[in-house]
Amino acid sequence: LLFWMFISHSSSASDVMVDLDEAHKNRDDEAESSSRRRANVSTSSSNVSLSNGRMLRASTSNEENDSDSGTLKSRRRTHSGSKVEDHILRWNGKVFYTAGRPPWYDNSGYQLREPFIIGICGGSASGKTTVANRIIEALDIQWVTLLSMDSFYKVLTPEQHQAALNNKHDFDHPDAFDFDLLYRTLIRLKEGKRVEVPVYNFSTHSREKMNKTMYGASVLIFEGILAFHRKDILDMMNLKVFVDTDADIRLARRLSRDILERGRDVEGVLEQYNNFVKPAFDSFIAPCMRYADVIIPRGGENHVGIDLIVFHVKTCLHDLTVKNRAQLAMGALNGRNGNGLQAKPPPSLHVLKQTPQIRGLHSLIRNKNAPRSEFIFYSNRLMRLLIEHALSLLPFSDCNVECPSGLIYAGKRRKARLICGVSILRAGETMETALREVLKDCIISKILIQTNPDSMEPELYYLTLPKEISSYHILLMDATVATGAAAMMAIRILLDHDVPEENITLLALLMAETGVQSVAYAFPKVRLVTTAVDKQLSPNYHIIPGIGNFGDRYFGTELQPCSDKLEYDCASDG
């Protein structure tokens, strides 16, 4: 019926295709016009967009920077059937984007709590994604993960792929999905760990080579046509929502989406709908309605129903705001055993022997009047000694080598063949040169963690790690460790990437006793290596007497000299 409604508005089938071509052109014109408008809007946001996973955070910024050069180039039209991972959602004047993930663990290093999982089921083009985005916008929670079932289509055989190109393959049957991979992915997200999610291309009917990385969150929204099909996945959901939309509306949306976004033709879309989509809805999707806690008629247009869901979720979620940094400082001040006595240095702490040379180097770099060139030179010397000492703590095995004299020398050989240096930006980046001087073929990765000026808590903004990082020994580098909050976040990230705790070594030129106790308490198997340990912290969590703002002094970005009364350590760890 809807197909003949399309025909009735044009004199022939060719007129229909002309209308579709005109729709393509209008859509391109609107996109180009929108790009011009966005390019003229300056952004007030200083946040960095993280490209790992669909995790969204609310912002008051109106727009993101769209162009650095200020010149606009016309976009060449493409037909990509994959769901491009757009890390920015704009809704009612708000921007939701991936930036600044707050701590998802307590001061013991464990996950705060399992995420609240919302399952959204419904027919094809019923508005599931729209409902999910509306819930995200209304919840106004810092961190939400959105997972689509479309990512878990099975890899097709050559015969199935050819059938798919001819609209003869059933993509709506349960056998079309890899439910085992989906279950394992949800389990890892529930545990707060990293997952690699496939990206499915609906134009080529195949998975893209590059996966997208996702992490656990406070709220996990999972949507798909068969989201309620398997019981073990259904049992993981805290709230089950079914989006009930009229069949004619779903067909109209599917026609528009598949023709404009996936390069399909009208006949092919209708053939697939009649042969597979509608029968699958009647046989597999509609019966799942009985499992739903809430049924939303009309999809994203039902604002009352969405408001009720949001109200229920907010009442179920506990206040997860934690002051990790304050708790870490107080925990070390009162002693980890709770008796108010200062705890003994943990066995995982390794401090360079305080020789006259080490103390002399510290005297040079702690001097507030030291010229920047001398500060850099002597800091680099300390870093080299620090890294050499850290490497000596890695596992070694016995080996025999033949000397030029013909005699045998009983020596040692390092067991750890794969070593990766991970710097906590920005101050940790200063140690990369010293590491490369010792290990010329060492892989270098980076993690950007910055302190939120309002909450004074560390937040994750960016990371780049090797794909098989779980098999590496990690040298985690930062210039200073004060409360240990940033170091704990970096270690938690590595653990979420399946790096064994005993394979992590934390290096810093200077540590505070508070940071040492906090990190060792949460992660007792992590080795802590430093050149010195200071005893006190200021009320603003700066090391006393400290070394000053190491990053500013090293890179020459100091805004003002340190106070004559007190020298604070304002390093990236904070």
Q: What is the pLDDT of residues 311-332, one digit of tens each?
A: 888 777 654 444 555 555 555 4
Is 342 found in the same domain as 310?
no
Per-residue pLDDT at 237 exceeds 80 = yes
- For residue 572, being part of any structural domain is answered with no
Instruction: Report how many domains make up the chain.
Output: 2
- Give the tokens for residue 366: 């702690």
Is 233 found in the same domain as 359?
no
E strand segments, 374-471:
396-402, 408-414, 419-425, 443-451, 458-464
460: confidence class by pLDDT, cuts 50, 70, 90:
confident
- For the sheet with 144-148, list strands across it: 88-91, 94-97, 55-59, 144-148, 219-224, 116-122, 239-244, 294-297
- Give the tokens for residue 39: 């390019």
571: confidence class by pLDDT, cuts 50, 70, 90:
very low
Please name the residue ranges forming H helices in 424-534. 432-438, 485-496, 513-522
- From CA 424, how far away is CA 450, in angstroms rounded? 9
The tens digit of pLDDT for each residue in 238-270 reads 999 999 988 888 888 888 888 887 777 888 888
111: confidence class by pLDDT, cuts 50, 70, 90:
low
Identify which of 13-27, 98-112, 175-189 has the greatest average pLDDT.
175-189
166: confidence class by pLDDT, cuts 50, 70, 90:
confident
- HEC secondary structure over 181-248: HHHHHHHHHHCCCCEEECCEECCCCEECCCCEEECCCCEEEEEECCCCCCHHHHCCCCEEEEEECCHH
Question: Is this structure's pTM higher than 0.75?
Answer: no
Task: Categorise residue 125: left if φ over 0, alpha if ψ from -120 to 50, beta otherwise.
Answer: left
> Residue 517 belongs to a domain with what CATH number?
3.40.50.2020
Phi, psi of 147 (to 5 degrees): -120, 125
Q: How far is CA 297 from CA 99, 139, 226, 303, in A?
A: 33, 20, 18, 10
Which whole number is the average pLDDT over 267-274? 86
Per-residue pLDDT at 495 exceeds 60 = yes
By CB atoms closer than 10 A (0-12, 13-18, 19+), residue 206 is: middle
Is 367 found in the same domain as 267?
no
Instruction: Flag the least confident range among 209-213, 444-448, 475-479, 485-489.
Output: 209-213
Per-residue pLDDT at 359 exceeds 70 = yes
* Beta-sheet pairing, 239-244 with 294-297: parallel
Last residue of a domain, one of 316, 347, 371: 316
At residue 259, the pLDDT reads 83
Per-residue pLDDT at 342 exceeds 80 = no
Is 363 found in the same domain as 450?
yes
Is 285 found in the same domain as 359?
no
44: confidence class by pLDDT, cuts 50, 70, 90:
very low
At residue 217, the pLDDT reads 75
Cα three-residue angle 533-538-541, rounded to 5 degrees: 80
At residue 127, the pLDDT reads 87
At residue 3, the pLDDT reads 43
pLDDT-above-90 percentage for the chain: 22
User: Identity (one letter) of the amino acid at 364?
Assistant: L
At residue 506, the pLDDT reads 94
Q: Which of 130, 31, 155, 148 lies closest to 83, judged by CA?
A: 148
At residue 569, the pLDDT reads 44
At residue 140, the pLDDT reads 66
- For residue 382, being part of any structural domain is answered with yes
- Give the tokens for residue 276: 């597979």
Is 341 found in the same domain as 310?
no
> Residue 53 belongs to a domain with what CATH number?
3.40.50.300
- For residue 356, being part of any structural domain is answered with yes
Instruction: Please tell me whether residue 473 adopts helix, strand or coil conformation.
Output: strand
- Give the tokens for residue 242: 């079914």
At residue 174, the pLDDT reads 92
- From CA 494, how far away is CA 491, in angstroms rounded? 5
The tens digit of pLDDT for each residue in 509-548 reads 999 888 888 888 888 899 999 999 988 888 777 888 888 8
387: confidence class by pLDDT, cuts 50, 70, 90:
very high
39: confidence class by pLDDT, cuts 50, 70, 90:
very low
Number of C-alpha atoms within 13 angstroms, CB side, residue 174?
A: 11
Is 290 found in the same domain as 424?
no
Last residue of a domain, one of 316, 350, 381: 316
> Would you mind telling me the total number of residues written for the chain in this entry?
574
Instruction: Flag the least confident range among 33-47, 281-295, 386-400, 410-424.
Output: 33-47
Is 246 found in the same domain as 136?
yes
Is 284 found in the same domain as 417?
no
300: confidence class by pLDDT, cuts 50, 70, 90:
confident
- For residue 370, being part of any structural domain is answered with yes
At residue 112, the pLDDT reads 59
Which whole number is the average pLDDT over 380-405? 91
- From CA 153, how far away is CA 199, in angstroms rounded? 9
Instruction: Please tell me whether residue 564 adopts helix, strand or coil conformation.
Output: coil
The per-residue pLDDT of the chain, averaged, comes to 75
By CB atoms closer than 10 A (0-12, 13-18, 19+), residue 438 is: middle
Cα three-residue angle 86-99-524, rounded to 5 degrees: 125
Do 276 and 170 meet the contact criterion of CB atoms below 8 Å apart?
Answer: yes
Which whole number is the average pLDDT over 99-119? 65
At residue 283, the pLDDT reads 92
Please tell me which residue, 74 or 246, carries the higher pLDDT value: 246
E strand segments, 485-563:
504-508, 510-512, 527-530, 533-534, 536-537, 543-544
Calculate the CA dihedral of residues 8, 12, 15, 17 and round it to 10 degrees.
100
Instruction: Flag the least confident range among 106-115, 421-430, 433-442, 489-498.
Output: 106-115
Chain center to CA of 330:
29
Which residue carries 């002597």 as its tokens? 378
Helix (H) or strand (E) holding 56: strand 55-59
Per-residue pLDDT at 458 exceeds 50 = yes
By CB atoms closer than 10 A (0-12, 13-18, 19+), residue 159 is: exposed
At residue 559, the pLDDT reads 66
Which whole number is the average pLDDT over 156-177? 87
51: confidence class by pLDDT, cuts 50, 70, 90:
very low
Per-residue pLDDT at 97 exceeds 80 = no
- From CA 573, how far away is CA 458, in angstroms rounded? 8
**CA Rg, the chain, in Å?**
28
Is 524 found in the same domain as 456?
yes
- For residue 567, being part of any structural domain is answered with no
Q: How far is CA 177 from CA 7, 170, 211, 222, in A?
A: 35, 11, 17, 15
Number of C-beta neighbours around residue 175 at 10 A: 8
At residue 46, the pLDDT reads 35
- For residue 563, being part of any structural domain is answered with no
Is 348 found in the same domain as 257?
no
Calculate the CA dihedral of residues 492, 498, 501, 502 and round it to 10 degrees.
-150
The contacts of residue 201 (CB under 8 Å, 6+ apart) are 80, 81, 82, 207, 208
- From CA 300, how far away is CA 245, in angstroms rounded? 10
Last residue of a domain, one of 252, 284, 316: 316
Per-residue pLDDT at 423 exceeds 90 = yes
Range of the domain at 90: 41-316
At residue 336, the pLDDT reads 46
Which whole number is the average pLDDT over 383-408? 91
- For residue 126, being part of any structural domain is answered with yes
- For residue 322, being part of any structural domain is answered with no
* Beta-sheet pairing, 200-201 with 458-464: unpaired
Is 87 found in the same domain as 148?
yes
Per-residue pLDDT at 77 exceeds 50 = no
